[in-house]
Amino acid sequence: MAFPKRLLVPGEELVLDLRPHPVALAMPVLAAIASLAAGIYLMTAFSGKVDTVVTWISLAGIALVWVLYSVRRLVAWLTSHFVVTSDRILHRSGWLAKQSLEIPLEQINDIKFTQGVFERMVKAGDIQIRSASNDGPTTFEDVRNPEEVQKAIYHQSELNNQRMYSGQGTPGPGATSPPAPARAPRAPSSTTELERLADLRAKGVLTEEEFQAQKAKILGQR
């Protein structure tokens, strides 16, 4: 089942939608096989003695291992999604009871992945993300191709930062709005110009003739 795109916000793009690596099912499968083998052995070994009691105990043990561990892990694998979008990292799991974890890309401080020898052979591993919103790192287990996922997260983080710095993204809390463009200076009024000319005449800068000429010019523009 794919990640439901209805959970994406407008303008958000889905980059990666990964289910846990099949290696996550190794232990549940081994536990189911081991419990089945042990149950069959007990029912065979005690056949003809306390056959009914041993049979019921064996069947109950098999059912407990399968339901409480193997089937439960299978359902978790089928319903888990590790998602990388253009804005955040999401991890959703659960069928009836849902669990969800979200980390915005701009809050990521550090990403690293770990792989054992066997995990490197099958291209699986764990990704550890340290973000500004969490006290400690968050670990996502059994991620497919963890090195490529790490690169994809770094790439989307860079693109997200570029959008935010260029003003295309939504400003977060505390972000300042860009300064408003400066207004063109308003032209002086006729009254102000006449007062200035009268002052210049009083100081002897303008003669009476020059004052009258400038006054007629200003009044003629009205």
Question: Is the per-residue pLDDT at 80 higher than 80?
Answer: yes
Note whether 38 and 46 are within 8 A (CB): no
Q: How confident is the model at residue 7 (pLDDT cuts 50, 70, 90)?
A: confident
Considering the domain architecture, whether residues 146 and 205 belong to the same structural domain is answered as no
Mean pLDDT for 75-103 is 85
pLDDT in the model for residue 172: 44
Residue 186 is given by DSSP the state P
Structural domain range at position 28? 7-165
Task: Count how many domains the chain has.
Answer: 2
**Which among 2, 28, 31 is positioned nearest to 14, based on CA atoms?**
2
Considering the domain architecture, whether residues 29 and 93 belong to the same structural domain is answered as yes
Domain membership of residue 121 (yes or no) is yes
d(C-alpha 61, C-alpha 34), whole Å: 11
Q: How confident is the model at residue 31 (pLDDT cuts 50, 70, 90)?
A: very high
What pLDDT digit, counting tens, does each position of 152-205 carry?
A: 998 888 888 888 777 655 444 444 445 545 544 445 566 677 677 777 677 666
Q: How confident is the model at residue 30 (pLDDT cuts 50, 70, 90)?
A: very high
Question: Is the per-residue pLDDT at 29 higher than 90?
Answer: yes
d(C-alpha 138, C-alpha 129), whole Å: 5
Note whether 36 and 125 are within 8 A (CB): no
Domain membership of residue 48 (yes or no) is yes
Considering the domain architecture, whether residues 36 and 145 belong to the same structural domain is answered as yes
Considering the domain architecture, whether residues 100 and 151 belong to the same structural domain is answered as yes
Instruction: Please list the residues that pair with 14 across neighbouring strands.
Output: 85
Residue environment code for 198-220, b if the CB has 16+ CB neighbours within 10 A, otherwise e: eeebeeeebeeeebeebbeebee
SS3 category, 144: strand
Considering the domain architecture, whether residues 200 and 110 belong to the same structural domain is answered as no
pLDDT in the model for residue 169: 53
Calculate the CA dihedral of residues 148, 149, 151, 157 and round it to 10 degrees.
160
Domain membership of residue 173 (yes or no) is no
pLDDT in the model for residue 27: 92
Q: What is the percentage of the chain residues whose pLDDT exceeds 90?
A: 15
What pLDDT digit, counting tens, does each position of 91-146 carry?
A: 888 777 678 888 888 888 888 999 889 988 999 999 999 887 666 788 888 999 99
CA-to-CA separations, 108 to 56, 84, 136, 181, in angstroms, rounded: 53, 13, 12, 34
Note whether 146 and 126 are within 8 A (CB): yes
d(C-alpha 22, C-alpha 16), whole Å: 17
Domain membership of residue 171 (yes or no) is no
Considering the domain architecture, whether residues 88 and 47 belong to the same structural domain is answered as yes
